[in-house]
Structures are given as C-alpha cells and as structure tokens.
Amino acid sequence: MQPIRIGSRRSELALCQTRWVMERLQGATERPVEIRTFVTKGDRILDVTLAKVGGKGLFVKEIEEEMLKGGIDLAVHSMKDVPARLPAGLCLGAVSRREDPRDCWISKHGIPFSQLPSGAKVGTSSLRRQAQLRRLRPDVEVVPLRGNLGTRLRKLEETDLDGIVLAAAGLHRLGWGEKITEYFSPEQLLPAVGQGALGVECREDDETMLALLQAVHDDETAQCVQAERAFLRRLDGSCQVPLGAYARRVEGRIVISGFVAAPDGQRFLHVTRCGEDPEDVGTSLAEELLAAGAEDILRRVAAENEGARRL
C-alpha cells in the first residue's frame, strides 16, 4: 500500500509532535505511515530575529511547497508557527487537543521571575513576550534568543543569561517539565495564537486524508484556535508584531482575550470579548483593538521592520 507521508521539521520537538500524530494515524488505518524531515529557512537563519527576515512562515514554507507538489501528504506544525493565511490548495485538516498554553520561566539559579535583581538578563525569541515582560519588569534586560528548545536551554547554561522564557507545551511534550521554575498565567503573559495546539495541514481536495485526520482532531480546541486565528488574520499579524490571543470555552461560549503592543511595551492595548461564533468573536476583538489605536501601532512596527530588512 502507498504510505502516508508526513512532513516535519527536523528538531527534537517537531519530531516528537509528528510521532504523536503518526501513532494516532497508525491506529486508524492499515496503510504504513512514514516521516520525511525538512530543515526550513527558519531553522537555518539563527543570527537575526524572525521579525527581520520574514516571520514564522519561514518554518513552514518549504514543507508546504513539497505538499503542493505531491511529495508529502500531511505536515505537522505547532499551531503558533502557522501563518494566518495558508497557501491556496492547502487547509488545516486537524487541530489537536491543546497542551498547556502558558509560557514558563526557566531560571539558571532557581530564582522566580519577580525576584530577579534589577538588570538581570532574560532570553526570549519573541516580540510578544518581550513587550509583556517589559511591562512586568521594566528593570530587566531582554536579550534576543533563537534556536530550538535544546539550543536555547544550552545557551542558558553557557551564557550570562539569568533565565529564559519558553512555551510550556514543548517542554511537557519532551518530558522536560522538571526544568520549569514557574509558569506565567495568561493574565501575565498572553500566549501566542494557537500556542499549545498542533495543526495537521493537508491538501484541501484530499478527502481521504481529511477523513483520516478525525483521529487527531479536537473540535473544542479547533474552535478556540479558529477564533484566535481570525483575530490574527484581521490584524494581518505575525511574529513581526507584538500581539497575542487566547480563547477558551466557558459555559458554551468562547471567551477570547487579545493584545497589541509596541515592542517596548509602553503602548499596550488589551481587550476581552465573548461570543458563540469563532470567526465573529475573533474578528470583533481585532476590530475593537484597531479602533482603540492598534492600527497606529501596527503601522509603526511594520515601518520599523521594513527599515531593518533594508539595512
């Protein structure tokens, strides 16, 4: 039988997540399932921030191109790495049940984030985290930090960083939860859109794969992620802009919080809305932030990023 070919980045976390999907597919079909790995442009460029080289789409572009050519059937992504708009011909066939959506603090010396001395160095690769951390502790120094989870943890030990901020979900999936010093609540650090969930991308006309992917899909998580992605899409956002959103189901309705900020955290707009339709509530949240001044923030950040790329 023709094997089902799944595309994955080559990092330890990406392969762990892809194997999780693979196991569930193998339980739902007699066809063999195999993994094909990719080193994406986002994996290769580690000396500059993603905001300066094109955003998180660099982690999926080569994999998507291979799927459109027919070289692979599926691709497994961390949902927070998936751009708001997918290429024509592709779709999200499944969204997994969400792992812990929170960000977490890993301290070199076990010191809670709130007790760091003034001037402490905090590593993060995210403008979203940077803006919120500077609101929590304007007296600490936020240092750019790129690389996969293992690389960032190694840099914590080998450099003068006092600690780093990572997504808790990846550490949990790899069995590294003991490395976490403490968790940030969503009220402290609002997560990235889709954080904690996996997305499985496929060709939108592949009815066989779409049916098979029901073995992976979680409808409640998918609706919450849909609301967050509607918010992201309306703002035309990416990791080039400090923004975040987190939706959850409460008594049958979707409650979603979102923010847009300047990179230094000085201008910070935060709104919470609730509703029943994921697209409507996510879009409405974005519209409210735009009316409150987010449009000006986004325009300024986009101009700064464009200037940085030209340099």
Contact 6, 31 (CB under 8 A): no
Tell me: the pLDDT tens digits for 127-158? 999 999 999 999 999 999 988 899 999 999 99
pLDDT at 166: 97
pLDDT at 57: 61
Does residue 310 surpass a pLDDT of 80? no
Identify the weakest region by mean pLDDT among 48-52, 54-58, 121-125, 282-286: 48-52
What is the mean predicted confidence (pLDDT) over 219-247?
90
Pairing between β-strand 121-124 and β-strand 163-167 as defined by DSSP bridges: parallel
Tell me: the pLDDT tens digits for 160-218? 999 999 999 999 999 999 999 999 999 999 999 999 999 999 999 999 999 999 999 99
Which CATH number among 3.30.465.10, 3.40.190.10, 3.90.550.10, 3.40.50.620 corresponds to the domain 103-183?
3.40.190.10
More confident residue, 12 or 304: 12
Contact 79, 101 (CB under 8 A): no
pLDDT at 301: 79
pLDDT confidence tier of residue 279, bands split at 50, 70 and 90: very high
What is the mean predicted confidence (pLDDT) over 271-290?
97
Does residue 105 surpass a pLDDT of 90? yes
Q: Do domains 1-97+197-217 and 219-311 have the same CATH topology?
A: no
Does residue 51 surpass a pLDDT of 80? no
Tell me: the pLDDT tens digits for 65-96? 999 999 999 999 999 989 999 999 999 999 99
pLDDT at 119: 97
- CATH architecture observed for domain 219-311: 2-Layer Sandwich (3.30)
pLDDT at 125: 82
Instruction: Give me the residue spans of the domains in the chain.
Output: 1-97+197-217, 103-183, 219-311
pLDDT at 60: 85
Give the residues across from 275 on adjacent strands. Answer: 254
pLDDT at 5: 97
Query: Domain 1-97+197-217: which topology?
Result: D-Maltodextrin-Binding Protein; domain 2 (3.40.190)
Does residue 103 surpass a pLDDT of 80? yes
Identify the weakest region by mean pLDDT among 52-66, 178-192, 206-220, 288-302: 52-66
pLDDT at 300: 83
Asked about 73 being catalytic, the answer comes back as no
Tell me: the pLDDT tens digits for 235-269? 986 557 899 999 999 999 999 999 999 887 789 99
pLDDT at 39: 79
Q: Which of 43, 81, 103, 206 is catalytic?
A: 81
What is the mean predicted confidence (pLDDT) over 31-43?
83
What is the mean predicted confidence (pLDDT) over 34-38?
95
Nearest C-alpha neighbor of 195 from the set 61, 103, 64, 59:
103
